[in-house]
Structure 1
């Protein structure tokens, strides 16, 4: 039955001329959720969800109030927060003040972006289909937690008892709010549901977030090196990567990301303490203890216990450990995931073994496996979602003599199942068919790449790091030489004919290509840093104070780089011209060329870098919310930079060369360099230099060179890398964590890596 809220929502959406899909895209609320509201299948919308919908439709104040009242009309009163037994403060966990007014709007935008991101991800992972698995927990041993007096912020001399921290997934926020310190450690073995718990925690906390409350943000801890990067600095850097719009200047002159972190406007949800590099767990725990930030930290038990034994517990932190699923949980869940027929489901005979008072060895093995959400998900994928497959084979002790054998089978079956049997529900024009053997090879290659980097984050701009440094330099040089050679051949053919164009392509390709390769090697490879995607968008006619402040430093950087590049390229081209055409003394010709083109290229590059900085504008906070969006945004930025580079650099080089030669005639003798030469040089330099810069020194250019050309050419990845990664995400092999992909689970990545290397 349709609710008053559903009727009003549909009416307002239609008045705005929006489809359900468009409303979902703009609000960040899942399309299934919107459809459920409008049909009455979903009731009791959360206040935060209603606000997201109202913002997306851009409602007037009166209409917004009507929508909120309609939502409240069908909502049961919320229970009061649990009592604190008179101990500790009666404010939010952590006793932090509100977000400053100057940052409140930014925090609200960030909260909407975070909620939309994780709500879509929860739907993609089918976490509530048919219902969430009942992940529960128990308190950790006392040796892993701080004194209860510290956890409860008790006054000196008080000796309060422990808090009741038992609960299940849907009560995680309620349990967290019982902790006055606002610091909670969640331990659990692989596949026990830690990441799902963090997702649910963030969504539920945002649903009731006050406008001036801190924003919970999930941070994967695997990339943190506490020995080199302080916690707040690392949090700021991760925020900038996940939400590029936070790079805009904040109230104090720093970035919005830094301002939010410093003002405690972020509630860090630190996922994966165990994924920090070996040898750094103790340093990480010590670094966390230098701050009293409220936080939620997840880890596998062994790594956290070892860190505690080596240093101390997490100050003021309570702790819980996720418990195994019970056989009743599994028996209640799996049949509802399978197709029903009069005889029951395919799971009924198998689950009868789990119900038995004295299970057979086969039933005991399977029961030991189906104790984590990960294994239950894999079993569901392989048998509930796949017609014609019988889970009774899991009881074959001839094939699966141990629980470990069943786990390996479920992990190994996942990829073949989702690529062979799962239907592709996307439009016909977007469907892709992949050969299973190649898919397993490509995924194994990616898993091995992540293992070598020591990370779980599959970032598209880091795929070039799968190659040796020498291969990267070689690839950059070859592609730059081909691109610049092609441009020079086309331009010089207009002036000197086809033969002259081919000769110019040969000479310039052999001089400029190695120069770009060398610069690429020095700036990118030797520094062992990947080129990061741009955090700005480009707009003309900016002219703000910030833009003017950026112009000088960028001009100076471009001037220095162009001066060195132009002098080196001029020297090499002078030597080659002397050797090939017997044109004067080689060293002298090289020196003259270097003295001419060094200042010219320096001035041109300085102007380009300065004008590019002038056109930069911060991204919206909610933009670039996933890997594909970030890739498209970076491509748009690079194309804009090229459109600015070509005319500015070309005009500066062409007419700058005329000016330098005119000044040099007095002491170097006459030069033959006319207007047609200047136009040809300017056009070739603008196009060639722009392409070389884009391909070698931007994240999108590196993506084109390596991920779209070099890696597919050598068979390491498919030609359609973007489509392949998105398809793997749609099939559930990958998940999205902001701007990066991750494998659905760390154990899946580890298994793919293990198989690939055998």
Structure 2
């Protein structure tokens, strides 16, 4: 347990330290983010917050401070429950990053690990806070290993139940509006120490509808001041001609803000640049990019209102981010990546991804969910077609050498028979796998949190063999029967029988043998699976790679089981040459036909390949190198990685991109869905 906590702490620190560096929080210095005690009526009695003795009525705590004081303020609250309120873009996310990193910076081995949970993904109607946090820890940090001290509980549950996790619950306002009151009730059912962030209006509405968060103190973030802008923007810009702070591109704007604050243009700028989000975007557009003059922000003919100016910054941020190369390196390899994406195409792809999240009503961009907003009929057709294609091509190619070597019908017969059998078998198997996908595709297929290990089998791993074997037997037997009926009812009447099927006895042996073989494949894979390591699941690409390796291993097991069985059986009856040839053909058909079809229809990685690596790029919705694009967007500060998923750096940016995409959807070469 202690080792798991240590690894988790290191992983969380590395994750958010990298994100803070990407956001240039300390380059050249942090913005001055202040907070103060929130208005009365939003927090509990001070006696409950301070855990005072009965009969006492203590006064309030001095909770005002700055970003760098958030850990000290949290520790001054005896209940260890603190709510941070702030408007959109006011710095709540930066505050949570600073809180997590500062807590980890002086953490002792017995202290809990602060972990950020995005509350927008929580449905309090169906899942308790404890179970939901456990699911998130498994998803983002691979804590799926069994707890040796309590059967039936995984490592995530053990850490939560023993108080080793300090929840940092980010985005209470992103919970569906009708569920925020219920979520507050669920939070009040616990005394778990926590830090929670929310926009003020949504939190106040939930409090009015239910109750305050028990034992929780509440602070609210303040707007940035003109002095904060004057301190930060010049230092974040190139030096002026005089080499000092007074000759930067921001000098005319700051001068106007100070001398003519009542002008409409200066009022718009002063209103918009009150949040760290808008200041960061203004910096990216006008300080980091050469040749841009922020004086245009004062133009009231272009920006009549503050909202017009805000929309301008949101619209200009993404193209500007893609006009400069990323500077971060790949954390897995340490190598610099210099991909250059067309800004217009990047804006379109990000718009599709933002609209996808809007339809799913979530902030989490998970690679295994990317195809789920397509029409179900489209998904079934794509998966069935690719599964049928892989099986059909493999069958056609595999039949050629068999008929050339084992029969005297000649090359033309072998070619025609291979094409016909490949087409018919591909149609049958494609239909079967398509129906399987249709049956299991009511939601996104979750990625596997397992890896393959050949040794060290435990009792719980052996217990998974029989259920998987039964599923494989139940699925494989009817598929084998359909293939036999196709051969007997269609191929033979066309005069394409090659005499190698063994007649009635061969059919009677093939059908149950194929079912048993498929059951054995699935059972063996289940036998060899163990939970993934904590560090292997912290990045989306790592989880994707683990799932790809699992599918490749599946294919190898398919090849070994069917290749060995066919080779031995044919070698005994027809000699070693025929046995070797049959084993080779069956191994290829099983791996690239059945194994790949299984991967496409039953696994998250296979569906990712079919929908997100083939269909969505083919229709122009996303780039072909999608993971590289998403990682690059993180380096440019457009997205961020949150465990195993991506998120837009802010909901305002996501909503703007989604709206822009919908407005231009009519110009797409294919329908949006």
Asked if Structure 1 and Structure 2 have the same fold, meaning a TM-score greater than 0.5 normalized by the shorter chain, the answer is yes
Q: Contact 2:566/2:582 (CA < 8 Å) preserved in 1?
A: no
The partner residue of 2:81 within 183, 194, 208 is: 183
Q: Does 1:212 align with 2:110?
A: yes
Give how far 1:579 is off: 6.9
Aligned residues: 636
- Do residues 380 (structure 1) and 283 (structure 2) align? yes
Partner residue, 1:80:
none
Say whether the 8 Å CA contact 1:648–1:686 is kept in structure 2.
no
Partner residue of 1:541 out of 434, 455, 465:
455
Matched, 1:642 2:565: no
For the pair 1:113 / 2:11, whether they are aligned, the reply is: yes
Give the TM-score normalised by structure 1.
0.79
* Cα pair distance change 1:710/1:365, threshold 3 Å: same
Cα displacement (A) at 1:653: 6.8
Instruction: Decide whether the 8 Å contact of 1:708 with 1:721 is kept in 2.
Output: yes
- Structure 2 residue runs of 5 or longer lacking an equivalent are 404-413, 498-502, 664-673
Matched, 1:484 2:387: no
Shift of 1:277: 1.7
CA distance in 2, matches of 1:533, 1:714: 25
Shift of 1:740: 1.1
Distance apart, 1:215 and its partner CA: 1.0
Matched, 1:756 2:661: yes
CA contact (8 A) 1:735 1:742 kept: yes
Offset at residue 108 of structure 1 (A) = 1.4
Distance 1:302 1:493, change over 3 A: same
C-alpha change, 1:139 and 1:215, in structure 2 (3 Å) is same
**Gaps (5+ residues) in structure 1?**
1-102, 584-589, 662-672
Shift of 1:656: 8.4
Moved more, 482-491 or 592-601: 592-601
CA distance in 2, matches of 1:573, 1:260: 56
Contact 2:325 2:338 in 1 (8 A): no
Compared CA separation, residues 439 and 678, structure 1 to 2 (3 A)? closer
Q: Distance in 2 between matches of 1:140 and 1:542?
A: 55
- Please name the residue that 1:149 is paired with: 47
Q: Does 1:402 align with 2:305?
A: yes
In the other structure, the counterpart of 2:500 is none
Q: Relative CO higher for 1 or 2, CA cutoff 8 Å, sep ≥ 6?
A: 2
Aligned-partner Cα distance in 2 for 1:593–1:316: 74
- Superposed counterparts of 1:336-485, under 5 Å: 336-343=235-242, 344-356=247-259, 358-421=261-324, 430-485=337-392
In structure 2, what is the Cα distance between the partners aligned to 1:531 and 1:290? 32
**SS at 1:420's partner residue?**
coil
Q: CA deviation at 1:633?
A: 2.2
The 5 A counterparts of 1:193-592 are 193-253=91-151, 254-343=153-242, 344-356=247-259, 358-421=261-324, 430-496=337-403, 497-523=414-440, 525=441, 528-567=442-481, 570=484, 575-577=489-491
Q: 1:580 to 1:218 in 2, by over 3 A?
A: farther
Distance in 1 separating the partners of 2:34 and 2:511: 67
Change in CA separation of 1:686 and 1:718 when aligned onto 2, cut-off 3 Å: closer
Measure, in 1, the Cα distance between the counterparts of 2:266 and 2:621: 41
Q: Quote the Cα distance in structure 2 between the aligned partners of 1:489 and 1:333.
A: 67
Q: What is the match of residue 541 of structure 2?
A: 628
Q: 1:393-452, CA deviations, whole angstroms, 9 ceiling, x for partnerless residues?
A: 111111111111111111111111112245768799943332332222111111100000
Structure 1 pair 575/148, CA: closer, same or farther in 2 (3 Å)? farther
How far the C-alpha of 1:645 sits from its partner, in A, is 2.5
- Taking structure 1 as reference, are residues 189 and 358 closer, same or farther at Cα in structure 2, changes over 3 Å only? closer
Give the counterpart of 2:29 among 131, 134, 156: 131
CA root-mean-square deviation: 2.7
Task: State the SS of the aligned residue for 1:465.
Answer: coil
Alpha-carbon distance in structure 2 between the residues aligned to 1:154 and 1:245 = 37
Farther-moved stretch of structure 1 (283-292 vs 604-613)? 604-613
Measure the CA separation in 2 of the matches of 1:244 and 1:649: 33
Deviation at 1:509, TM superposition (A): 0.7
Aligned residues of 2:634 and 2:640 also touching (Cα < 8 A): yes
Q: In structure 2, do the counterparts of structure 1 residues 163 and 512 end up closer, same or farther at CA, with 3 Å as the change threshold?
A: same
In the alignment, what sits opposite 2:629?
724
Q: Note closer, same or farther for the CA distance 1:597–1:750 as it changes in structure 2 (3 Å cut).
A: farther
TM-score by length of 2: 0.89
Superposed, 1:43-54 pairs within 5 Å as none
1:295 deviates by 0.8
For the Cα contact (< 8 Å) 2:223–2:274, is it kept in 1?
yes
Change (3 A) 1:225 1:393: same
| Residues 654-689 of structure 1: CA deviation (Å, up to 9, x unaligned) | 778999x9xxxxxxxxxxx99976764464234311
The offset of 1:738, in angstroms, is 1.2
State the 1:210 CA deviation: 1.7
Q: Which residue of 1 aligns with 2:595?
A: 690
Q: Distance in 1 between matches of 2:157 and 2:197?
A: 24
Contact conserved, 1:192 with 1:373, CA < 8 A, in 2? yes
1:473 and 1:521 in contact (8 A); partners too: yes
Secondary structure of residue in 2 paired with 1:225: coil
Whether contact under 8 Å (1:596, 1:657) holds in the other structure is no
Instruction: Find the aligned partners of 2:496 and 2:651 in 1 and give their Cα distance.
Output: 63
> For residues 116 and 149 of structure 1, what CA distance do their matches in structure 2 show?
38
Q: CA deviation at 1:500?
A: 2.1
Shift of 1:757: 1.1
- Higher mean displacement: 428-437 or 232-241: 428-437
Alpha-carbon spacing, 1:579–1:269, altered in 2? closer, same or farther (3 Å): farther
Is the alpha carbon distance of 1:299 and 1:565 closer, same or farther for their aligned partners in structure 2, counting shifts above 3 Å?
Answer: farther
Secondary structure at the aligned position of 2:178 is classed as coil
| Aligned-residue offset at 1:700 | 1.7
Structure 1 counterpart of 2:611:
706
Deviation at 1:499, TM superposition (A): 2.2
Q: d(CA) in 2 for partners of 1:594 and 1:234?
A: 50
Q: Is the 8 A contact 1:338 1:384 kept in 2?
A: yes
Q: CA deviation at 1:563?
A: 3.6
Contact 2:451 2:529 survives alignment (8 Å):
yes
C-alpha deviation, 1:488, in angstroms: 0.6
| Matches of 1:109 and 1:516, distance apart in 2 | 40
